[in-house]
Amino acid sequence: MKLKNTLGLAIGSLIAATSFGALAQGQGAVEGEAFWGKTWNHSVDSYQNGRTPGVSIGYFLTDDVSVNLTYRKDEYTRSDADTGNQRIRGDHFGLKSQYHFGQVGDMFRPYVEGGVSHGSMSNVVADGHTGRDGSTYLTTGAGVKMYITDNLYARAGGEADYKLDNGRWDYQALIGLGVNFGGSGGKVAPAPAPAPEPAPAPVAESAPAPEVVKVQLDVKFDFNKAVVKPNSYGDVKSLADFMKQYPKTTTQVSGHTDNVGPDAYNQKLSQKRADAVKQVLVKDGVRADRITSVGYGKTRPVADNATEAGRAMNRRVEASVEAQAQ
């Protein structure tokens, strides 16, 4: 089977694998990737620049550090025209370690890498050689992974290979598509359900029912932001004034997001939004121990996330306070 067909099957398998619930990022995850690269050959004078498809598999020792085995096929390199324009084939096997910046669940995770590889390339017959030439390389590189979902990612990066035999460099620009399996760091436990409010004390039939007053808060946020906008300060202050008028009241501030981005990222963003509203309430004079802030991520939409208007309604923080009228 030709390598391009093998890569096509691999990419199809990567996309199909994202339907399994066992997939996750973080410590213990296994990442599989198919990639394609453009190579600039400088370690051998008579080689033209080539293209190198390949695959890799990695294991996350921690949430940030992975160890990766790689294989790439030097399939399309040629010798220079004055040596007969001979087609050159080769293989590269590598062992690398990647350090990822940011946190598990972030949509973008830049990385740096380093390692060692062994490559073999067919010799240029016109130069008077036959067979293959084997070489050892030191490898370094950097790039960024974009997690399209919690489990499917795309990668773009660059690598430089230092050939120990002659002290010269080869360079590659790479793009890839991959999935990860079995980690636990990317999954955030769902926020606990709010405790049920205690049942009101029984009231004697002869006594009139107390009047209940209530204030509700609904603060909207810009996309991917957790900053309370100035036009919402007045609503937050109204809730704070109500709580100061009824000093025995407490409230839960609930943060929510739309459905754009990974689950873990939205969970963190919703918590930041809830905390931001709590900070404004405290600044307006409400004690912090009277306010609980909880993020629910994208699990509780109030509108259709298929439209921009619906997503805007879902980017919100809610709160309500009830008290018996004085």
Cα three-residue angle 319-228-252, rounded to 5 degrees: 20
155 and 279 fall within a common domain: no
21 and 144 fall within a common domain: yes
pLDDT given at position 205: 59
274 and 221 fall within a common domain: yes
Interval 240-265: pLDDT, tens: 999 999 998 899 999 999 999 899 99
40 and 169 fall within a common domain: yes
282 and 136 fall within a common domain: no
Is 170 inside any structural domain?
Answer: yes
Is 43 inside any structural domain?
Answer: yes
Helix (H, G, I), strand (E, B) or coil at 141: strand
313 and 251 fall within a common domain: yes
Question: Which residues are CB-neighbours of 200 under 8 A, at least 6 positions away?
Answer: none
159 and 219 fall within a common domain: no
**Contact (CB, 8 A) for 56 and 33:** yes
219 and 290 fall within a common domain: yes
pLDDT given at position 125: 65
Q: What is the CA radius of gyration of the chain?
A: 29
pLDDT given at position 127: 58
Is 198 inside any structural domain?
Answer: no
Is 207 inside any structural domain?
Answer: no
| Segments of the chain scoring below 50 in pLDDT | 1-4, 6-7, 9-11, 13-22
13 and 140 fall within a common domain: yes
Is 189 inside any structural domain?
Answer: no
* CATH code, domain carrying 153: 2.40.160.20
* CATH code, domain carrying 318: 3.30.1330.60
154 and 23 fall within a common domain: yes
Please say which residue of 164, 181, 198 terminates a domain: 181
43 and 168 fall within a common domain: yes
**Contact (CB, 8 A) for 68 and 159:** no
pLDDT given at position 154: 93
Count up the domains in the chain and report the number: 2
Is 197 inside any structural domain?
Answer: no
Q: Rounded to an integer, what distance in angstroms lies between the CA atom of residue 41 and that of residue 45? A: 8
Looking only at the bridges linking them, the beta strands covering 168-181 and 152-163 are antiparallel
Is 312 inside any structural domain?
Answer: yes
254 and 138 fall within a common domain: no
Domain carrying residue 229 = 212-324
Is 148 inside any structural domain?
Answer: yes
For residue 199, the 8-state DSSP code is: P
Please say which residue of 130, 164, 181 terminates a domain: 181
What is the b/e burial string over 269-287, where b = at least 16 CB atoms within 10 angstroms of the residue's CB?
A: bbbbbbbbbbbbbeebebe
**Contact (CB, 8 A) for 138 and 163:** no
Question: Which residues are CB-neighbours of 170 under 8 A, at least 6 positions away?
Answer: 39, 40, 41, 42, 43, 137, 160, 161, 163
Interval 195-220: pLDDT, tens: 677 777 665 555 565 677 788 899 99
Quote the crossing angle between the two packed helices 263-283 and 233-245, to the nearest 10°: 60
Please say which residue of 158, 181, 204 terminates a domain: 181
Element (H, E) at 254: strand 251-255
Of how many residues is the chain composed? Answer: 326
